[in-house]
Amino acid sequence: MRWSSALVLGLVQLCLASPHAKRWGDMVEKHSWTQIPTGWEYHSAPSPEQLLELRLGLKPHKMDELISTLYEVSDPAHERYGKHLSKEEADAFIAPHPKAVESVEDWLQHHGIDPSEVTHRSDAGDWVTVRVSVAQAEKMLGTKYGVYHHAKSSDYVVRTLRYSLPRDLHSHVDIVTPTTYFGTFRSMKATSFIQPEITPLELDVDTESLKVGEALSPDAVPPTSCNTVITPACLRTLYNTANYTPKATAQNSIGLAGYLEEFGNRADLQTFYNRFLPNAAGSSYTTVRVNNGQDDQSDPGVEANLDIQYAFSVAFPTPGVYYSTAGRPPFVADSQTPTNTNEPYLDWVNFVLSQSTIPQTISTSYGDDEQTVPADYRTSVCNQLAVLGARGTTVLFSSGDFGVGGGDCLTNDGTRRKLFQPAFPASCPFVTTVGGTIRTNPEVAVSFSGGGFSRAFPRPAFQDAAVSAYLNAIGNTNSGLFNASGRAYPDLAAQGQGFQVVIGGRVSSVGGTSASSPTVAAIVALLNDARLAAGKPTLGWLNPLIYKDLLPGFNDITSGSNPGCGTNGFTARAGWDPVSCIILDQPTLVAECFDCF
């Protein structure tokens, strides 16, 4: 029997195509939700022609080595302490393996995407972007997209409840977005709030203010008014920074990450300075726009003004940078423009890591419940924050304003168990997380101060002694409601209530750990200034240093609690605790410890 030439050709093509098709057809789930994330509802099916900017985070080839390096350069006992990485050195660690690049390109070509259509979004090559239709993305990821609505923020996004990748790509691709992360710039939480119950100070009434470098007794205490309302003079006296004048302002800077279409108002800053820090009047800051971020001076934001006015006043005259990070336009049905990716942190951290020079201290006052953030997204963002630390930047996040958890605290894994709800990125081990306090003599943990234990990230070894001591002390209290082996936070704390903020030309009282984080960031910036002026490297990732035994420069907070989830939460005690932890006392650390590390 003779084979027809057409049949032979068809069999040859089948033999050539089958291994390739089999390779990319063997799909394995990457992430899925058991239910639509809380606060969101299905709205409609997107148009199949709707365009998405599909972003692929390729697995860094030497991430484990970078994290090992981070530990070494952050440990005062290590010979590499302070020898932070340059941008080029960091890029070499996080670059993907050539095989990963080759596999992803092969997969994209299998789906008809030409290499010329692929955009590399980072110098290290670990992020690539392709513009595809919803129908094509569904085919590539073995999923179905939907348009989902978040009623509270009025956001509409295109997301999916699950997605898959070919088995061969799981070892090469960390994350694909937009997929299962439903957080957006407008739906995540800013950790600040107006406090109308605290009467604000008037602009035209003279109250105590301080000039930078003005001499104060080391034993000076804040006036009793600081128990109710906080001004820069309160903070500079309480945390003993008033006698220090920055000397390395040509080398040092402090940054603030802004989202939620929040804009700092320069006129409000001048009003604030004239009222509370007169010798800073006339100075300003730099706004850096990320992802087409705006700087609308007609729309002052509570969060932005709070962060800017206190971080830059306490650290004055250290140069300040405000990052205005925007999301893309919201979803519009049948539009042919890319839909709303709007994923917090990734746009900002990718941008910052692409810069050769970045601020040595950066504070961020936003977060989500950890359980609402997919594991692949959490890991990717946390690893990128580790890169910032390896490059010598101290990254601080507020701990949140819901104690051990807000709302009903039910898990979203289908079991609906009531558990304490840690916050992210506060729970990332590579950031320094800041809780809140009130009053001045002594300071007490404020009840809303977020704190607890991650259910996603294990506890770093340097926390073992301090955290174990606390766990032993509380015994079975709250047993089963938290992960005792998880990364514990906060790491530091500072005042968090009654901050006097100028908004639209008027003073308002504002509270939240959004006030605490920029305060600590300003103190760290002063520490960095002193180190740079002495020819020493910046502090970088603080956490291994914070938990060192007998480190001077800290005051312990031993009272207060952070209730939530229908419980009393955790109670502050001597030593570390997941409510307020310890607060920085700047001059002691500068004077006594610079020779130690």
**Single-letter residue type at 439:** R
Q: Which residue has the higher pLDDT, 231 or 580?
A: 231
Using CA atoms, how far apart are residues 420 and 29, in angstroms rounded to an integer?
28
303 catalytically annotated: yes
Instruction: Tell me the pLDDT tens digit for each residue of 428-467.
Output: 999 999 999 999 989 999 999 999 999 999 999 999 999 9
Establish whether 262 is a catalytic residue: no
Nearest to 236 by CA among 256, 216, 207: 216
Over residues 157-185, mean pLDDT: 91
Length of the chain: 597
Spatial CB neighbours of 538, under 8 Å, sequence gap ≥ 6? 82, 84, 252, 360, 392, 393, 394, 528, 531, 532
Of 460, 389, 431, 428, residue with least CA distance to 90: 389
Distance CA 424, CA 377 (A): 11
Task: Report if pTM > 0.85.
Answer: yes
Q: Which of 127-136, 196-205, 323-332 has the lowest mean pLDDT?
A: 323-332
Q: How confident is the model at residue 336 (pLDDT cuts 50, 70, 90)?
A: very low
**Position 99 pLDDT exceeds 90:** yes
Residue 542 has pLDDT above 80, yes or no: yes
Any binding-site annotation on 91? no
- pLDDT over 70 at 170, yes or no: yes
According to the 3-state scheme, what is the secondary structure of 341-379? CCCCCHHHHHHHHCCCCCCCEEEECEEEEHHHCCHHHHH
Residue 26, annotated as binding a ligand: no
> Which residue type is seen at 416?
R
- Which residue among 303, 370, 376, 529 is the active-site one? 303
368 is in an annotated binding site: no
Question: How does residue 515 score in pLDDT terms, banded at 50, 70 and 90?
Answer: very high
Which of the residues 74, 313, 427, 514 is marked catalytic?
Answer: 514
Q: Is position 106 annotated in a ligand binding site? A: no
Q: pLDDT by residue (tens digit) across 100-124?
A: 999 999 999 999 998 888 888 788 9
Q: 173-223: per-residue pLDDT in tens? A: 999 999 999 876 554 455 678 888 999 998 865 555 555 545 455 667 888
263-278 tens-digit pLDDT: 899 999 999 999 999 9
Give me the mean pLDDT over the 274-288 stretch. 95
- Residue 232: asked if its preceding bond is cis (omega within 30°), the reply is no
At 23 the three-state DSSP class reads: helix
Residue 299 known to be catalytic: no
pLDDT given for residue 48 in this prediction: 94
**What are the angstrom distances between the C-alpha of 518 and each of 281, 310, 521, 582?**
20, 7, 5, 16
CB of 365 within 8 A of CB of 518?
Answer: yes
Between these two residues, 333 and 302, which has the higher pLDDT value? Answer: 302
pLDDT in tens, 461-493: 999 999 999 999 999 999 999 999 999 999 999
CATH of domain 190-215+238-320+344-350+357-593: 3.40.50.200
Distance of CA 524 to the CA centre of its chain: 17
**pLDDT for the residue 221:** 80
